[in-house]
Chain A
Amino acid sequence: MPQKIHIEIDRELCTGCGICIRFCPKDVLGESGTLNQYGNFYTEVKKLEECIVCRQCELYCPDFAISVEVKE
């Protein structure tokens, strides 16, 4: 069975710092241009199909806002 990847970004926890965008080797992530309730532009998933599940984004996120889930 192929992998099913799901990337969850908690919009309220994400501060839009852009660190995950910088450290993603595959340009999966990008700015949403939308504000959350704390006034931060949260990040969103742009190219899910490119994701190689390296988990670099999770490792660098200061706010534990991003989660990469894989379902077999």
Chain B
Amino acid sequence: MITGKELREKYIRNQPTAFCPGCGDGMVLNGMSRAVENLGIERKDIVAVSGIGCAAWVVSPYWRVDTLHTTHGRAIPHAIGVKVGNKDLNVVVVSGDGDCVGIGGNHLIHACRNNIDLTVIMINNGLYAMTGGQVAPTTEHGEKTITTPYGNPSQGMDVAELVKAAGASHVARWTTYHMRELTKEVEYALEKKGLSFIEVITQCPTRTGKKDNLSTLEMLEWYKNNTSKNPEDGKITVGRSVDKERPEMADVIYEQIISAGGTLK
């Protein structure tokens, strides 16, 4: 089995990272790298696309693959261009909750509708971390953040439910407490045809931690105690919620080119 050091040398660059100590973003990067290693996918066949925010840094500049670090909320449409441009590439999007479903929400919905073959990993820390801890679409009702000092008047959004309704062919949710399951899920997502969406509830010791007065380890403990694979438990449900077959858009576009008599450029 690959050692920590071998994994680092093969998949990671530009260390030390800019992540705060104990940040879950590095754990997601760890799981993703292992998934690629376990599947034996060549790094040159992966393109990682990200937007803006702490989560965007997970792949750029740290992941040792081709990376496209784009504008805020627009990782997904850039990734669609890459995938439709060359469908042999494994295209992975890593995006924070604000990036993915706040400013970029519409693109996410339509990527699911298209069922384009992307692996979208949404790192959910419940707020905008890089810019100082503002309220996000995932922040719970009543939560106090720097822009909701009297409590969030809005509601937190269940993104996994949203992408399910929008037509993603594979949807799952895990937390950084669940590293083994997360790694397996990314493997599954990379192999699954169509849009895979994995939400990873992730600790941000600097913003969420400070706000809730919880340490990194306390947050991980909280994930352990407040999640369950059984939706009946009344906790945050983790696990795979969608796994279905639907036509994948890039495939169909390529088929149409062939049937129109074209030779792919």
Interface residues of chain A, those whose CB is within 8 Å of chain B, are 8, 12-13, 15-19, 22, 38, 40, 55, 57-69
Contact = CB atoms under 8 A, between A and B. Distances in A.
B18 to A, nearest CB: 11
A66 B4 contact: yes
11 contacts: A17-B205, A18-B216, A59-B180, A60-B27, A61-B4, A61-B30, A62-B27, A62-B30, A63-B26, A67-B4, A68-B3
Chain B interface mostly: helix
A41 to B, nearest CB: 9
B260 interface: no
A15 to B, nearest CB: 3
Contacts, number: 76
Nearest to B11: A64
Given A61-B4, A61-B30, 9 more contacts: A8-B4, A13-B15, A18-B216, A19-B27, A38-B16, A57-B4, A59-B34, A60-B30, A64-B8
Contacts of B19: 62-63
A21 to B, nearest CB: 9
A58 B27 contact: no
A70 to B, nearest CB: 8
A66 B15 CA distance: 14
B24 to A, nearest CB: 7
Interface of B: 1, 3-8, 12, 15-17, 19, 21-27, 29-31, 34, 179-180, 183, 205, 216-217, 220
Contact of B22 (A12, A13, A19, A57): A19
B23 to A, nearest CB: 6
Given A60-B179, A64-B12, A64-B30, A15 B4 contact: no
A64 B26 contact: yes
A40 B4 contact: no
Nearest to A7: B4
Contacts of B29: 62
A67 B1 CA distance: 12
